Structure 1
């Protein structure tokens, strides 16, 4: 059958080539092309794409920030461990003392004031830990010494507050103490 069709096309080729589409067909094609060109600008697609790109950039930035922050903390801890291996042991010892002494303040109104003072010292200690990474050679030992002094200062503050409370505590039923006596 295919041979018959092929034969028919070959013999009647001139009749096929002679036919031309009418002007109406070309006008319809031209109108269809104009409609496609004048399609309204699609802001939704652009806004969706921009929002997706913005979210990806934001997520990447946050992840990068967390990674770099974790790296800085690890570097500070590694530097402290390298410079002063006994520091971790001393920190544990001082923290145990501080927690025990702070627990004794549970029933006294001075607890919150002391807690705020200790928080300020903790901020300074955190700054020292971050500085140890950037410190020039030879200064690391001084920073470790300052960290240990900060722990000692916290213990001294707590001991002093507890001594004042004991000194002013005449009545065991009244555990209050005014702020000026500290």
Structure 2
């Protein structure tokens, strides 16, 4: 039969078929390419929150320097100290929350149930902050609004501190 002859031919000439293996260099290239995984870090919601905070700080600085608000750029004493305090607080709290969220994210695999809760709480605080920012732009009780914005940042930091303390990861 024909299949028997083919099988016999393959058995007799096996060595000639096996000599076509890729070189070690080819395998090394394949291995190095397969180990690379592209991580998209901006898709994670906490980075979106951190980006919003950074943009809020930049926006605040730009608005303070805008001529529409009649701020004298040459005179430091004309800058509202409460606004300076707000900008400094935003920068500080955004940095602290971002660092602590990095630690919390490392624990998402161990405690997957906290991910949605933490992100929902942060988003809720961000929505409140955005409302306060709108109120600040409308110049409604400026001092109270600034204090509420700083307090919002404190709550955000306190929340991530409590989560870190609870999970002990």
TM-score, normalised to structure 2, is 0.48
TM-score, normalised to structure 1, is 0.45
Q: Which is greater in Rg?
A: 1
